[in-house]
Structure 1
């Protein structure tokens, strides 16, 4: 006979599973509506691939806007040129520091380990091995913030390596590595796995910079403009339901995730299959983490005033929690 503790553990496990399941579809809108959606072509946002099809069933037409960077999506949300989009978790601190409330975080989208990507032939096995190495970074990016805060928490001087600032998308990093211009790079998927899959690099698995207390492992955040939350809340709710439904489906099937990832980003399936093994779909962000991000951003001079409280107040995942019954 199972012990009481075992039965209780099973019961709690089942309860947690039920609590995380996406609830039934909301009713279609009574008349056709239009929602402007920002698309950022990165793997952890692969659920976006099937978003339009799902929203069409709910009588919502999607007006697309594509962005290369989270920063561009953030600007579009603040200006009201898009209603919803994905942005970086740290963007709430930037928005709050600007004195704006026109961007509301809704939920995280996924997490993964972040290993330094090292050029073949270069030896970086331990943190001490980064001394003097040329490491490509994208200053101000979400992954750069993860990297910088990890170094601080490990008491490793930022000056211990030679930073190479790379502008533009991830392709520029991959090309720099192919040319041998850099020894390693702090990057995002799918470009990390692309460099590894093409034989130019390897993951330094002992150098994981995703676990800093200040930044955490969250890869992105779905957000709505304040205006959309005020005037199109039911459309935003249906957008969020559709995204979470597809996310739940892809999270259960890694092959399906890799296929959607490939179609969404345009990358070869052999690349996305490797990248999909690393990414865990489903947000890990919460108000407390947003607050820690904002505090760290202030201490490091990324924002010029302490907006820990204000940034946390801009994160409202109550709608996502209602959808996940």
Structure 2
């Protein structure tokens, strides 16, 4: 073979290999927490082969709570994740370019205000002047606001202490705070391991939806991938609903908690993925407006502007 022809073939081979490497390098970076459908999907491993057909690899990153996860999305570290109602509001107010791409049904009993076993606090109204620990900007933040309102208290009537779940539990255990506002499976663990008593959960107070979110640039670039992830999540939800004990076993292994704790938590989960309806968007807008009124977020935001319009 003549040298020019050989060089041309080598150049074509090099270009092909470069394109192949680029295709192989494309990733969907998913942020997850120690609970729920996304963690079960990760454990079951059904997403990776589905996305492989679309030329996409999956990279998973764990976060301690929703606000931290969405900070990761805001700085470009992840493309997709799942959180409760409040975190996307705080993130959007901070300038995160996110989109609501789906949600699960309400799960009002999956979050609660708890007090230590033997605490003299018997009702939410008794929290006046007390120290209440929570993860700032998490779904439980809205539960606390509305539970206080229902009990005739103002948000300013209590002393809020902001800590992530692990630190909050430590403060709760050593008696440094009077109450803890927390979600499952941390809630179930506190009940089973510490004998924590539920003062109030979300029933009759908040809906507690779970939302799936994507970075706007990624959803615009790869709507096919977002749709595939939502489809796999929906399948995982259907499997989990029909196989609750197996789902609990899978989740227990992933999050390092005893099976009985996880079974209690999963019994309070909701299953099924759907698009964001106008009603759910309106509920989310109401939460955003409350947070702005309380000056918990610096500016008003529009939920409607952050809804994904899938083609």
**Normalised TM-score (structure 1):** 0.75
Larger Rg: 2
Residue number in structure 2 paired with 1:67: 63
Q: Does 1:191 align with 2:183?
A: no
Residue number in structure 2 paired with 1:129: 126
CA displacement at 1:208 relative to structure 2: 2.8
Residue number in structure 2 paired with 1:298: 292
CA displacement at 1:275 relative to structure 2: 1.5
Structure-1 separation of matches of 2:192 and 2:215: 38
Residue number in structure 1 paired with 2:307: 315
Asked if the contact 1:250/1:256 (under 8 Å) is kept, the reply is yes
* Matched residue count: 279
Name the SS for the 1:180 alignment partner.
coil
1:61-118: CA deviation from partner (whole Å, max 9, x where unpaired): 2112222221222122223322211234334433443455x21111123523233212
Structure-1 separation of matches of 2:201 and 2:229: 33
Residue number in structure 1 paired with 2:40: 47
CA displacement at 1:41 relative to structure 2: 1.8
Asked if the contact 1:124/1:130 (under 8 Å) is kept, the reply is yes
Asked if the contact 1:287/1:313 (under 8 Å) is kept, the reply is no
Structure-2 separation of matches of 1:241 and 1:154: 41
Residue number in structure 2 paired with 1:8: none
The counterpart of 1:275, out of the listed 265, 269, 275, is 265
Asked if the contact 1:147/1:209 (under 8 Å) is kept, the reply is no
Q: Does 1:103 align with 2:98?
A: yes
Asked if the contact 1:146/1:209 (under 8 Å) is kept, the reply is yes
CA displacement at 1:130 relative to structure 2: 2.6
Asked if the contact 1:210/1:217 (under 8 Å) is kept, the reply is no
Moved more, 189-198 or 249-258: 249-258
Structure-2 separation of matches of 1:65 and 1:240: 18
**Any unmatched runs of 5+ in structure 1?**
1-30
Name the SS for the 1:82 alignment partner.
coil
Asked if the contact 2:132/2:159 (under 8 Å) is kept, the reply is yes
C-alpha root-mean-square deviation of aligned residues, in Å? Answer: 2.7
The verdict on how the C-alpha distance between 1:288 and 1:120 changes in structure 2, with shifts beyond 3 A counting, is same
Asked if the contact 1:51/1:243 (under 8 Å) is kept, the reply is no
Structure-2 separation of matches of 1:287 and 1:166: 27
Asked if the contact 1:135/1:183 (under 8 Å) is kept, the reply is yes
Asked if the contact 2:133/2:163 (under 8 Å) is kept, the reply is no
CA displacement at 1:166 relative to structure 2: 4.2
The verdict on how the C-alpha distance between 1:312 and 1:150 changes in structure 2, with shifts beyond 3 A counting, is farther
Structure-2 separation of matches of 1:51 and 1:297: 37
Asked if the contact 1:51/1:242 (under 8 Å) is kept, the reply is no
CA displacement at 1:210 relative to structure 2: 5.1
1:188-220: CA deviation from partner (whole Å, max 9, x where unpaired): 21111112111431223xx234543xx5322x3
- Give 4+ residue runs of structure 1 displaced > 6 Å after superposition: none
CA displacement at 1:42 relative to structure 2: 2.5
Asked if the contact 1:47/1:243 (under 8 Å) is kept, the reply is no
**Normalised TM-score (structure 2):** 0.78
CA displacement at 1:147 relative to structure 2: 0.8
Moved more, 126-135 or 224-233: 126-135
Name the SS for the 2:231 alignment partner.
helix
Name the SS for the 1:62 alignment partner.
strand
**Any unmatched runs of 5+ in structure 2?**
1-22
Q: How does 1:134-173 map to 2 (within 5 A)?
A: 134-163=131-160, 165-168=161-164, 170-173=165-168
